[in-house]
Amino acid sequence: MHKETRMSKKAFPRLRRPREPRLRPCAAVRQREWLKTLPVVRKGPLPPKDWTPKHACPCCDYITLAERGIGLICPVCWWQDEGLARDILNLPSPINRELTLSAARENFQRCGVCDTSLAAFALSVAEREKFARRQVEQTDVAAQI
Ligand SMILES: [Zn+2]
């Protein structure tokens, strides 16, 4: 009679956590070697090799950009460069919070940065003077486009 109520070991085997599948050492090495053969995917353009500023910023005209068209941010006015092809005054720039270049230039004249929300990060005039400035005639060319 007692035998019937007692839980038998056969009916209720001890629960064990299932063993995790583990790669054999040689298979793990093979997998690591295979991963090395995959191409490295890089998102976005390469940074410039030479960071000396050579190009003028389309917004503030200070020569601050090492290269055009690779998304560099101007340290004077904080405008993110989109390349020569997008230096169009009334074209909203998606990477600059949909600001147009003309609006950004107006903001720069007013508070020293391209976007009024960045006014706290504006450089002082003395700090700005560390950068050379493009001639005004050349900016008029961009204005005609
Ligand atoms: Zn700038």
What separation in Å is there between the alpha carbon of 24 and the centre of ligand 1? Answer: 57
Task: Assess whether pLDDT exceeds 60 at residue 143.
Answer: no
What separation in Å is there between the alpha carbon of 113 and the centre of ligand 1? Answer: 8
133 vs 131: CA distance, rounded Å:
6
What separation in Å is there between the alpha carbon of 49 and the centre of ligand 1? Answer: 21
- Whether 68 is covered by a domain: the verdict is yes
**What pLDDT score does 127 carry?**
92
- Whether 105 is covered by a domain: the verdict is yes
Higher pLDDT, 15 or 77: 77
Domain that holds residue 72: 55-144
**What pLDDT score does 31 carry?**
86
Half-sphere exposure of 35 (CA within 13 A, CB side): 6
What would the pLDDT profile of 71-102 be if each residue is shown by its tens digit? 999 999 999 999 999 999 999 999 999 999 99
How many DSSP H helices and E strands does the chain contain?
5, 2
What separation in Å is there between the alpha carbon of 12 and the centre of ligand 1? Answer: 75
- Whether 59 is covered by a domain: the verdict is yes
What separation in Å is there between the alpha carbon of 54 and the centre of ligand 1? Answer: 13
Beta bridge partners of 62: 133
- Whether 95 is covered by a domain: the verdict is yes
Query: What whole-number percentage of the chain has pLDDT above 70?
Result: 84
- Whether 121 is covered by a domain: the verdict is yes
What separation in Å is there between the alpha carbon of 67 and the centre of ligand 1? Answer: 13
Mean pLDDT, residues 98-115:
95
Total domains, the chain: 1
- Whether 92 is covered by a domain: the verdict is yes
- Whether 129 is covered by a domain: the verdict is yes
- Whether 2 is covered by a domain: the verdict is no
